[in-house]
Amino acid sequence: MDLTAKKVLEINLTDQTAVAKTYKEFNKYIGGVGLGLKLMESHFDKEPIVLSVGPFNGFFPYASKTSIVLNNDGVIEDIYIGGNLSLRIKYAGLDAIVIYGKSEQEVILDIQNTNVVFKDGITDILSLGLPGKRGDIFLEDGIRTKVSLNGYFTTPEDYFEHELRAKKLKGIVITGTEIAKPVNFDKYQQLYKSILIRKEDVSVLEASYPSCANCPMGCGKSKVGEIGGNVLLHSLVACQYADKIYSDLGIVFSCLNVLGYDYTHEDIELLPSLIEESLKRLA
Amino acid sequence: MTKILKATYMENCIGCELCVLETQRQLKKVGLEGAPIRIFRKRKEKSEYLEFGIEIDPRISSLDIEKVKNICPRAVFELVEDNGETSGFNS
């Protein structure tokens, strides 16, 4: 895992091609919504959907959301969905997936790490990907067509659904098979456990609903994702209900440091203004 | 007698995968590849809810299974006496 650059899988639905690219210059955008907005800006003419994760996804508890940045009829929207998707993207070795163009026929993307297979839209989505290592998103028809992530989680509003329909993208399956090894593993384990036990600092009630991966809460709030909010949390990408934990810069730097990132206080302080500048250019 | 990890209360599983990640950390890695526990999700019939399946590789016995049991927030696992009947996947 290269911590000095962002790895982005770019998928062109029109000609059914995909390529993984590395962007060192985007490292200062940290991840999640910061990276998502920058990728929206750099790919704007292609009308992309940008899925992105942050440095903590897959590594620390309560950091389970995937950021989705899209252009909703001229308004750039950022939404966040739960489930296991962020871990699958991270374990695929990716920081973001940019999907652009439009398929002629309904299509399902079967992604394994950086390899993409374009499947016919009638393919049984549950037959794709590797057991125990896959996550899926698909458009589920009903009274109201909604995205279903892992068969349970969904999105706030209908922006994502609208974009998927417009691109004739019926579903996405992501399998991640990469392994990471933080350099100071013992310190990483200690930090992980010290965060995991802070359930009382998470502002949802513990329950028995399907839970986001790497979160013990099983809360009823995660089913319908999030929209907008704290840009640092959503660049990391932590759950908004864990803001007491991940708004603490001491914790943030401890986590970044133990994973091997070399972000400075200035990098973190600069992030909101970088995001603001991206938004201004996109407006 | 040796204790083994058994997913006795699988119906309580919420799919958080903390057990999977705990086993991987004990193996000094982060990720899903080669994990001794796998969680499978499927939608309950005629329901909006999910149910989860758990497969446990018997090789998990070489790990600290007490820690794996204890990290589960829904007390899905038990440590039970190994009566020698377990072979292949324990689910």
What six digits make up the tokens of A90? 């991270």
Domain ranges of chain B: 3-81
pLDDT grade, residue B47 (50/70/90)? low
Least confident residue range of A43-52, A81-90, A231-240, B46-55: B46-55
**Closest C-alpha to B54, from B26, B89, B85:** B89
A5 is a domain residue: yes
| Mean pLDDT of all residues belonging to chain A | 94
Q: Find the CB nearest A210 among B28, B49, B73.
A: B49
Q: Between chains, do B28 and A185 touch, taking CB under 8 Å as contact? A: yes
- For residue A270, give the CATH number of its domain: 3.60.9
Q: How confident is the model at residue A156 (pLDDT cuts 50, 70, 90)?
A: confident
pLDDT (0 to 100) of residue A157: 86
Residues of B in contact with A55 (CB under 8 A): none
Q: Return the amino acid letter for A258.
A: V
Average pLDDT over residues B61-72: 97
Q: Ranked by mean pLDDT, which of A41-50, A138-147, B1-10 comes out on top?
A: A41-50
Q: Do B32 and A59 touch (CB under 8 A)?
A: no
In a domain, A62, yes or no: yes
Residues of B within 8 A of A133 (CB-CB) are 32-33, 38
Rounded to an integer, the average pLDDT of B63-87 is 89
Residue A227 predicted with pLDDT over 70: yes
The verdict on a CB contact (< 8 Å) between A210 and B12 is no
**Residue B87 pLDDT > 50:** no
Task: Assess if residue A147 is contained within a domain.
Answer: no
CA distances (Å), origin A149, targets A19, A93, A171, A236: 24, 20, 10, 21
Number of domain units in chain A: 1
Tell me what pLDDT residue A143 has. 62
Asked if residue A147 lies in contact with residue A138, where contact means CB atoms within 8 angstroms, the answer is: yes
A22 vs A248: CA distance, rounded Å: 30
Among the residue ranges A141-150, A163-172, B4-13, the one predicted with the least confidence is A141-150
Considering only CB atoms, A131 lies closest to which of B18, B31, B38, namely B38
Q: What are phi and psi of A210, to 5 degrees?
A: -55, 135
CB contact under 8 A, B41 and A61: no
In a domain, A202, yes or no: yes
* CA dist., res. A174 & res. A213, Å (int): 14
Question: Is B83 a residue whose pLDDT tops 80?
Answer: no
Q: Examine residue A117 and state whether it is found in any structural domain, yes or no.
A: no
Q: Mean pLDDT highest for which of A29-38, A124-133, A219-228?
A: A29-38
Do A63 and A239 meet the contact criterion of CB atoms below 8 Å apart? yes
Q: Rg (Cα) of chain B, in Å, rounded?
A: 13
Which has more confidence, B50 or A172? A172
User: Does residue A126 fall inside a structural domain?
Assistant: no
Per the CB < 8 A criterion, the answer to whether B10 and B76 are in contact is yes
Average pLDDT, whole number, for chain B? 88
Q: Is residue A120 part of a domain?
A: no
Quick one: which of A9, A22, A24 has its CA closest to A114? A9
CA neighbor of A160 nearest in space, from A143, A140, A142, A135: A140
Is B31 in contact with A180 (Cβ distance < 8 A)?
yes
Which CA distances in Å does B62 have to A79, B7, B23? Answer: 42, 17, 10
Whole-prediction pTM: 0.95
- A and B: number of Cβ contacts within 8 A: 94
Residue A8 belongs to domain spanning = 1-108+179-283
**What is the reported pLDDT for B50?**
75
- Residue A77 within a domain: yes
| Contact: A132, B38; criterion CB under 8 Å | yes
What Å distances lie between residue A87 and A32, A61, A268, B47, B88, CA to CA? 13, 11, 23, 26, 27
> ipTM for the complex?
0.94
Alpha helices by DSSP H, listed for chain A, are 32-42, 85-91, 159-167, 185-196, 233-236, 243-246, 249-259, 265-282
